[in-house]
Amino acid sequence: MSSQRKEVLYSIGLGIVLMIGAILIQSVLQSIPAIYLIVKYGLKELPAKIVALEVKYPLIYAIYIGTIAGVMQELFKYLAVELKPKVFAFWIGIGFSVVDISVLSIDVAIIKVFTIFVLLNVIVSLSFHPGTAMMLKYGRLANSKYLFLSITIILHSFIDGGLVFLDILSILVKPARINYYINIYWSIVMLISVSVLILGWIFINRVQDKPNIYGQTSQS
């Protein structure tokens, strides 16, 4: 196996490991409302209380869940791309996608329902994670890391939070109406994901890896 292929596999593995770490911490933080409700009302009352919370504060709850996902995953992704040259940023993003799609597959296996939205989730994951990884690497190399980290967090939070908000809306509005919101959401998300992938590829090819103390780039 060539050294280049080994580095690609290592980059994918790095993405997988850090995505798992991000999801573990993310899951704990996202469970804080549920933990609070369990402490206050008991485990038996949790299903009814969590639904009541979502219905009473749908936007706030969606923003909370989405923001935690965005912050944790994009921070860990930034840490990942810091460790490798820019040519491997795409593959680090693929590693994040592998975990994302694996979690989705487990959910599908549990509910035993496969819809077009599962396929859309896969397409979004394979576009968004590699795209944001390249954007984060570009931001680092172009001395705009905070700007691009903020952008990726906001976009990620919108995608995840929007999905949570749609789930809550399905309780609050008529089925015919929810289809309208679903179509709008997925149109926007697909546009964001494909645009991020294209822009990430364009941006990262505009910069060079910074030289190390020996005057060599990290690709050398």
pLDDT confidence of residue 219: 47
Mean pLDDT of 35-55: 93
Reported pTM: 0.90
CA-to-CA distance for 153 and 175, rounded, in angstroms? 31
More confident residue, 214 or 71: 71
215 pLDDT above the threshold of 60: no
Mean pLDDT of 31-52: 93
Mean pLDDT of 40-49: 92
CA-to-CA distance for 155 and 4, rounded, in angstroms? 31
Task: Tell me how far apart the 2 most distant CA atoms of the chain are, in Å.
Answer: 64
The DSSP-derived string for 2-25 is: -HHHHHHHHHHHHHHHHHHHHHHH
pLDDT confidence of residue 106: 86
pLDDT confidence of residue 217: 54
More confident residue, 65 or 216: 65
Mean pLDDT of 65-76: 98
Q: Is the backbone of residue 172 left (phi > 0), alpha (psi -120 to 50) or beta?
A: alpha
Please state the domain extents for the chain. 3-204
pLDDT confidence of residue 114: 65
Q: Calculate helix-pair angle for 116-141, 175-204, nearest 10 degrees.
A: 30
**What is the identity of the amino acid at 56?**
K
CA dist 77 → 74, 117, 130, 135, 214 (Å):
5, 25, 10, 11, 27
State the pLDDT confidence band at 9, using cuts at 50, 70 and 90.
very high
| pLDDT 10s digits, 94-137 | 999 999 999 988 887 777 666 788 889 999 999 999 999 999 99
* Residue-averaged pLDDT of the chain: 91
213 pLDDT above the threshold of 50: no
Mean pLDDT of 162-170: 92
